[in-house]
A and B are shown apart, each in its own frame.
Chain A
């Protein structure tokens, strides 16, 4: 779940500047909620983490989450420097680390370190035509679930007993994704999930509320606000983004019908790269086709 929300992420082929300036004319609250503030999402997710942990003990432990963040940042620093010769921006790595620290659950320490390392390394290894295909932390979490299920599960708890924390996270998350122009992806996914929940309920006879239950948890809030909206691993056009969000929900339904507990992660890991690959292929074809005409 690595949302590299702002324009200049940590792509090895296009390393980001390591400092960020407040654009002229934008200051204070305006800048804080601006598209240029690449730290908006990291700050939001950090707030979720701190509130969740202090209020409800959301994390396995502070130390395991710190380890995930530290390994993520160190791996990014090392690989960025070695592979591109420049120091990468750390926002993406920070979000990867914190996502791993929140989303995987294990009483052990090494899964947090390993998941973070896989997450960052995957960005540098699994690339096609200069772009990485998988959302790094989504890919890493799926790998951990596949390779080490004895030691790793994913976040499955609620926001305490009241509805307020959930409402606050939904509201803030919606505001931020709106500001960074990704809300349509979130909205499409949520509507699709509800639609498919209704279908699943009818098919299984389990009732709509039982099928809707998962989306009321923090895991889904992180998933829909940060993971499926990741600009680096989503397609370009708004319409296609909505289509991909719908397809992720559709794939999730298929997986859920086969009782796959980690359906959303696997759905994104299956649909996301296929969509990316198609877009990269189409873009390159267009470039090839338009090449001779402009030459």
Chain B
């Protein structure tokens, strides 16, 4: 009898174990069902904002096209030619309104510069300013672009990186652009998927980091061999070279990456620079596909030290596709968000939110991945992501776009992909061994993620609830206040899809403050300047960025949400030159233009 009771109890215990995942899912689903709000006024009440896709209404009509590479890759063309849709923001003509630059990748296709007319519409001025004809089989096709005023003349210049010949365009007074690539001394060919402007040595001149994806000697239109794929799904180091172009000040740059200690040949997809240790010098974080992320500490602008393992961010290899920094908990410290791949039942890498460990700082700083604990880990095949306070509640939210290859909805390439991805180097590195895609999808038609930050250590996913309903193959995300009204809009570039412009409507009771910075001793773009806002007993730090996310660049303007606070205690600006300025009780709901005092 006693044994019988034990057996029954054991069976019940077993059933409880098996039922746990279903109960857990039901519990999570129940939380969402409890909030069945539609995008609209109710969503604003609940979440403080809604997004409305309004590209066409804003005069933006742009569709990305993919290149047609060497026919030896025909069987996996959609998988290989799966990047190149990118967006970056800058006020190129200094009229006070943020403009948009988007890249295209089909041979003969056109990138586009959309000028913000200040009335909620944009006009394509690409041809007017001389930025036509940049994608070709001979010179390669665009992968992304970043803006930075490399000659400190007050106008943002444009660096365009490609699978091909990188190009630098000098901005001639906001009216036209002149090619400056030869004078700058850029290499003839880089298969790059990331680039950022930053002043690593704080000499007041912007330097340029460029991260290669495929090795430099690979011409994707004229392959000498099909053995050009990654040698491993998670440990590949046969990717592209990393360049750090030091600005010499006369329109010339010298390549200094290797000399300064940046020697990686991993498959870089994203980079971000920020002062993570409070040294005043920007450190460099690189998210790599097919491998671990790398973190380079900047030792006084004289040397870079790779500290991925030491700090904890470079241990578990994943498929890094974005790198963005944000002060997640309003602690005055940056967390680093890295997107990866998660596909139900196949590959659950999870995105990483690297947060500084309590009690660690400076050279001894350690990071721990809190993506799971904070609820921002599962984002599908995640590509671009950015931090930004979309509801102006005073906390940085995260927008993630995703989806890799959307073809036949009913057929998946995952089985064949996983087959070869787990194979030995000799097999995976040869494209000829990769089974044909045959019109199947690979993590296609995915729902986007928009996680709003509750400020207490957890995020809530609200994408569908606030109006983000697209399922395109998203790549690049950028945020900017295009209407100068204190709210961040979101622009998403989609692979072989339309450019989406999500216009933001924010609850009016939430206040904000923004800063347009201009360096004088520092680089004029003020890239690297840190702004720390103190209000209501809390603080938040942001840094002017020369590129972040996946092939993207947000506006240089720094935007803070303040919640319902009516007053700000003070704002501290630490310029790249090292100079610190304090602004006491600045007025909220206003864009403050601040020039570094000489």
Please report A residues at the B interface, Cβ cutoff 8 Å.
Answer: 56-57, 59-61, 79, 82-83, 105-110, 114, 117-118, 121-122, 124-125, 143-145, 147-153, 156-158, 160-163, 166, 204, 206-207, 209-214, 216-217, 219, 256, 259-262
Inter-chain contacts of B414 with A (CB < 8 A): 261
Known A-B contacts A83-B10, A161-B231, A213-B424; A150 and B433 likewise in contact (beta carbons under 8 Å): no
Whether B435 and A148, one on each chain, are in contact in the complex, defined by CB atoms closer than 8 angstroms, is: no
Q: Is B25 an interface residue (CB 8 A)?
A: yes
Inter-chain contacts of A122 with B (CB < 8 A): 14
Q: Is B423 an interface residue (CB 8 A)?
A: yes
Q: Which residue of B lies closest to A166 (CB)?
A: B424
Question: Which residues between 433 and 455 of chain B lie within 8 Å of chain A, taking CB atoms?
Answer: 433-436
Q: In the complex, what distance in Å separates the CA atom of A106 from the CA atom of B248?
A: 47
Whether A162 and B425, one on each chain, are in contact in the complex, defined by CB atoms closer than 8 angstroms, is: yes
Inter-chain contacts of B234 with A (CB < 8 A): 56-57, 157-158
Select the stretch in B153-161, B251-259, B342-350, B584-592 that faces chain A: B342-350
Q: Which of B344, B377, B424 contacts A107 (CB 8 A)?
A: B377
Q: In the complex, what distance in Å separates the CA atom of A85 from the CA atom of B315?
A: 44
* Interface residues as binary, B406-442 with A (CB distance below 8 Å gives 1, 0 otherwise): 0000001011101111111111101011111000000
Q: Is B21 an interface residue (CB 8 A)?
A: yes
Q: In the complex, what distance in Å separates the CA atom of A121 from the CA atom of B343?
A: 28
Whether B435 and A210, one on each chain, are in contact in the complex, defined by CB atoms closer than 8 angstroms, is: yes
Whether B347 and A147, one on each chain, are in contact in the complex, defined by CB atoms closer than 8 angstroms, is: no
Q: Which of B22, B346, B424, B436 contacts A261 (CB 8 A)?
A: B346
Whether A259 and B415, one on each chain, are in contact in the complex, defined by CB atoms closer than 8 angstroms, is: yes
Question: Which residues between 10 and 55 of chain B lie within 8 Å of chain A, taking CB atoms?
Answer: 10-11, 13-14, 17-18, 20-22, 24-25
Q: A150 CB to closest chain B CB, in angstroms?
A: 5
Q: Which residue of B lies closest to A59 (CB)?
A: B316
Q: In the complex, what distance in Å separates the CA atom of A61 from the CA atom of B315?
A: 9
Q: Which residue of A lies closest to B424 (CB)?
A: A216
Whether B425 and A163, one on each chain, are in contact in the complex, defined by CB atoms closer than 8 angstroms, is: yes
Q: A58 CB to closest chain B CB, in angstroms?
A: 9
Whether B347 and A156, one on each chain, are in contact in the complex, defined by CB atoms closer than 8 angstroms, is: yes
Known A-B contacts A121-B13, A143-B18; A213 and B428 likewise in contact (beta carbons under 8 Å): yes
Inter-chain contacts of A211 with B (CB < 8 A): 419
Q: Which residue of A lies closest to B20 (CB)?
A: A114
Q: In the complex, what distance in Å separates the CA atom of A59 from the CA atom of B349?
A: 11
Q: Is B6 an interface residue (CB 8 A)?
A: yes
Q: Which of A59, A60, A121, A148 contacts B21 (CB 8 A)?
A: A148
Q: B11 CB to closest chain A CB, in angstroms?
A: 6
Q: Which residue of B lies closest to A61 (CB)?
A: B316
Q: In the complex, what distance in Å separates the CA atom of A107 from the CA atom of B425?
A: 26
Whether A158 and B20, one on each chain, are in contact in the complex, defined by CB atoms closer than 8 angstroms, is: no
Whether A153 and B348, one on each chain, are in contact in the complex, defined by CB atoms closer than 8 angstroms, is: yes
Whether A150 and B25, one on each chain, are in contact in the complex, defined by CB atoms closer than 8 angstroms, is: yes
Q: A2 CB to closest chain B CB, in angstroms?
A: 16
Q: Which of A124, A147, A152, A213 contacts B420 (CB 8 A)?
A: A213
A-B contact pairs, 17 of them (CB 8 A): A57-B315, A83-B6, A105-B347, A107-B369, A107-B371, A121-B13, A125-B11, A147-B22, A156-B422, A157-B317, A158-B428, A204-B435, A213-B422, A214-B422, A216-B427, A217-B422, A217-B423
